Chain A
């Protein structure tokens, strides 16, 4: 079955530091999404990447998708306490558009 591996599982950084979260698939993806979630709350859509090599930025968050469309990274520059939360990648594989898979999430804590 299609799985999305996220790393690291959790991350504690000092405010102002940069960080990167990775999401890897064993199969080629049709689209890769990044979401943020506060514990026990809803999903906040961050970005969607669809083309190999694509890179998108929003404020201090940048997401990239590799050329093979199997790996994505989310980079936060100069982290702030407001960046704290759980970051989830989600994707649908090329071979099955009926399913959308989520990674297990990366829990980010930013220390003031």
Chain B
């Protein structure tokens, strides 16, 4: 069964450093997402991406965050200057276009645990 792959599984970074989290969505999916879960808390929506642009973002997704699909297969989340409160599990997801009811579905990656020290 197709999977969404996230790398690395765990990253430790110094406060103020830039970090890039990588995701390989399912190849025929068109919509891509990032979510964040601070340990013990709710999974929160960060951003959705379609047709090479952001289609929606939450208030969490401020100027420190950016997303990119650099080469047609990877989907990345960059945090420019990490803060302690950015420590969380980050999940990538992808989905097909709406309308294909039988194939429709969101698929989540297994997550990247980011620890900012």
Are A and B associated in one complex? yes
Q: Is the CB of A102 within 8 A of B42?
A: yes
Q: How far is the CB of A110 from chain B (nearest CB, A)?
A: 20
Chain B, interface residues (CB within 8 Å), range: 20 to 34
- The verdict on A40 contacting chain B, using a C-beta distance below 8 Å, is yes
CB-CB nearest in chain B for A4: B42
In the complex, chain A residues whose CB is within 8 Å of the CB of B35: 100, 102
Within 8 A of A (CB), among B83-117: 89, 91, 93, 98, 101, 104-111, 113
Across-interface contacts of B40 in A (CB, < 8 A) = 39
Is there a chain A Cβ closer than 8 Å to B76's Cβ?
no
* Contact in complex: B108, A102 (CB < 8 Å): no
Knowing A42-B89, A42-B111, A100-B106 are in contact, say whether A88-B43 is a contact too (CB < 8 A): yes
Q: 11 new A-B pairs (CB below 8 Å) besides A33-B106, A43-B91, A98-B56? A: A41-B111, A42-B109, A43-B110, A50-B101, A97-B31, A98-B31, A98-B48, A99-B56, A100-B33, A100-B45, A103-B42
- Please, could you name 26 A-B residue pairs with CB atoms under 8 Å apart, sorted by A? A30-B98, A31-B106, A33-B106, A35-B108, A40-B39, A40-B113, A41-B111, A42-B108, A42-B111, A43-B108, A50-B101, A88-B43, A90-B106, A96-B56, A97-B31, A98-B55, A98-B56, A100-B45, A101-B45, A102-B35, A102-B42, A102-B43, A102-B44, A103-B42, A104-B42, A105-B42
- A binding-site residues for B, Cβ under 8 Å: 30-31, 33, 35, 39-43, 45, 48, 50, 88, 90, 92, 96-105
